[in-house]
């Protein structure tokens, strides 16, 4: 018997999917096995095609320290010291996990020749899933919804920056190698500050054509590409899917377009604020709703709630939708670190910047943290969370929404009136730095319990290491350039 069979991870459906993959992979030379790490970065191994069948049955070895690294790739736990991984059962001494590829995730990569790709998740050698894996965290959150007969639907609006590479001399000069290394020297695609102008789109079109063709070749539900407000900033919008598919798509999209663009001489970055003096922040606006087993939108209502006005949630949201909205507000500060997980992302929270600053909701209000969209009878009624940055780990971003919203439903919380002044100085503020966000999470007992205290402790250790190095950095711009601009 194979390892997958011995551990109960193999069944008839997977057996059939493997047979299909082996047919699709004929003629390939290489197959990449990819896994999304805690920070949303894809890592993995590249196999020769003849090794694919064995990998599908026996898994691929993965050093466990890949799950213990901060954003600089430094291991944040003392794995070779007694007790250094006492809080992480199954970890220690840089031991091995196994990545098991999902045959249903198979793709032919459009930017390189004769290469396939499979998404994988880590397991302990005895077949137990590594529950600290972020995709597993989202799956656990979705299981909470499924027990109620519900599922989550998500649409994605993703802002990012694309630059033309001028030089990689500093990045690739062995005399200048560092940890982390420098980023390439770049220049802009368009000058910005002329929102949605066709002229700027035309300047950016060669790069955006690569984005379009790459996304569509991978089967991603791309709807539009836009020249955004900031210099060299663009946006991609994706149609609604189930939450797990949306998260998988986000991981694949970021990984794919960065590589495809680089081959053509471009540098794409999903960091919030690239390290230049005149720049606009990039956000990731997450549209979300809950549906029942028949696909009915549980946030929609037919007529306004009795005695409600336009500033009341019940004007267009169902009671369940209002409870969910109130849960997102109640846990906004605690979930911020999953939506905005980098030291750079907090620079986005500033007044009148089409980004949130406070814990508020509004009706079609782009200054508020949460934007309620849809009128009564609208099957597309949804809540848009504008808190996220584009480099966030999508599994954690979405899991935090589910747990916060479900707590609102379980507690039957009610939302305050919608804001008409989203930058009012007296409103409850979002965290303004990474350490503050981590403290807010630690103080949010329901969110900690829902995610699991072990996971929160593990995640916080990684992020505290990042925050500490940033605090110690004498040149903050250089830190952001090396830590995020060249890597995220």
Residues 72 and 172 in one domain: no
Question: Domain check: are 126 and 148 in the same one?
Answer: no
Q: Tell me, yes or no, whether 407 lies in a domain.
A: yes
Domain that holds residue 166: 143-485
One domain for residues 460 and 325: yes
Q: Are residues 114 and 231 in the same domain?
A: no
pLDDT tens digit string along 197-212? 999 999 999 999 999 9
117 and 147 share one domain: no
Tokens 């996304």 sit on residue: 215
DSSP state string for 150-218: -EEEEEEEEEEEEEEEEE-HHHH-GGG--SSPPPPEEEESS--SSTT-HHHHHHHHHHHHHHHHHHHHT
Q: Which of 96, 130, 164 is the last residue of a domain?
A: 130
Q: Do 327 and 230 share a structural domain? A: yes
pLDDT reported for residue 1: 82
Whether residue 469 is found in the same domain as residue 328 = yes
User: Based on the structure, what is the number of domains in the chain?
Assistant: 2
Asked if 270 contacts 391 with a C-beta cutoff of 8 angstroms, the reply is: yes
The segments of the chain whose pLDDT lies below 50 read none
What local confidence, expressed as pLDDT, does residue 10 receive? Answer: 85
- Does 99 share its domain with 160? no
Structure tokens at 95: 């031991």
pLDDT digits (tens, 9 = 90+) for 243-271: 999 999 999 999 999 999 999 999 999 99
pLDDT above 70 covers a percentage of the chain that reads: 100
- 345 and 239: one domain? yes
Residue 245 belongs to a domain with what CATH number?
Answer: 3.30.590.10
- Least Cα distance to 466 among 273, 241, 180, 207 occurs for 180
The structure's pTM equals 0.98
Neighbouring C-beta atoms of residue 83, cutoff 10 Å:
8
Report if residue 138 sits inside a domain: no
pLDDT score of 333 = 98
Helical H segments across 331-433, by residue range: 332-339, 394-411
Say if 135 falls within a structural domain: no
Q: Collapsing DSSP states into helix, strand and coil, what is residue 248?
A: helix
Give a yes or no: residue 272 inside a domain: yes
Q: What is the CATH number of the domain that holds 91?
A: 3.10.20.70
Q: What's the pLDDT score for residue 7?
A: 83
Backbone φ/ψ region at 64: left (φ over 0), alpha (ψ -120 to 50), beta: alpha
Q: Which helix (H) or strand (E) holds 33?
A: strand 30-36
For residue 457, what are its two tokens? 């402790």
């Amino acid at each position: 018997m194979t390892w997958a069979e011995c551990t109960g991870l193999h069944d008839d459906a997977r057996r059939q999917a493997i047979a299909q993959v082996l047919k699709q992979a004929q003629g390939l030379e290489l197959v990449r096995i990819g896994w999304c790490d805690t920070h949303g970065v894809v890592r993995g191994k590249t196999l020769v095609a003849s090794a694919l069948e064995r990998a599908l049955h026996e898994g691929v070895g993965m050093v466990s320290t890949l799950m213990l690294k901060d954003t600089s790739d430094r291991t944040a736990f003392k794995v070779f010291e007694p007790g250094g991984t006492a809080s992480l059962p199954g970890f220690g001494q840089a031991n091995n996990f196994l990545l098991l590829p999902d045959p249903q995730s198979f793709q032919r990569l459009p930017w390189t020749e004769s290469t396939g790709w499979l998404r994988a998740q880590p397991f302990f050698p005895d077949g137990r899933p590594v529950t600290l894996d972020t995709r597993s965290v989202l799956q656990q959150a979705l299981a909470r919804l499924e027990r109620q007969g519900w599922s989550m639907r998500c649409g994605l609006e993703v802002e990012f920056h694309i630059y033309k590479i001028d030089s990689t001399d500093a990045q690739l000069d062995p005399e200048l190698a560092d940890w982390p290394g420098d980023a390439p020297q770049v220049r802009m695609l368009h000058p910005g500050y002329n929102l949605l102008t066709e002229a700027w789109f035309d300047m950016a079109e060669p790069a955006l054509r690569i984005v379009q063709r790459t996304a569509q070749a991978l089967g991603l539900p791309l709807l539009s590409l836009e020249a955004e407000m900031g210099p060299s900033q663009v946006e991609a919008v994706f149609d609604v899917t189930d939450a797990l598919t949306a998260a998988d798509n986000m991981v694949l999209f970021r990984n794919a377009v960065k590589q495809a663009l680089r081959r053509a001489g471009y540098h794409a970055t999903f960091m919030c604020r690239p390290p230049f003096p005149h720049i606009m922040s990039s956000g990731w606006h997450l549209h979300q709703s809950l549906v029942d087993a028949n696909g009915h939108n549980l946030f929609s209502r037919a007529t306004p709630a009795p005695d409600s006005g336009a500033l009341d949630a019940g004007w267009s949201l169902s009671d369940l939708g209002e409870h969910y909205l109130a849960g997102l507000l109640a846990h906004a500060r605690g979930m911020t670190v999953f939506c905005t997980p980098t030291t750079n992302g907090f620079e986005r929270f500033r007044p009148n910047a089409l980004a949130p600053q406070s814990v508020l909701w509004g009706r079609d209000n782009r200054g508020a943290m949460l934007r309620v969209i849809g009128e009564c009878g609208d099957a597309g009624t949804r809540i848009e969370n504008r808190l996220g940055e584009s480099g966030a780990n999508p599994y954690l971003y979405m899991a935090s929404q589910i747990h916060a919203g479900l707590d609102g439903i379980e507690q039957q919380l009610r939302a305050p009136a919608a804001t008409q002044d989203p930058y009012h100085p007296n409103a409850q503020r979002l965290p303004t730095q990474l350490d503050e966000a981590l403290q807010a999470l630690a103080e949010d007992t329901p969110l900690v319990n829902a995610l699991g205290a072990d996971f929160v402790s593990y995640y916080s250790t990684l992020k505290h290491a990042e925050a500490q190095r940033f605090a110690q950095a004498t040149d903050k711009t250089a830190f952001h350039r090396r830590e995020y601009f060249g890597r995220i």
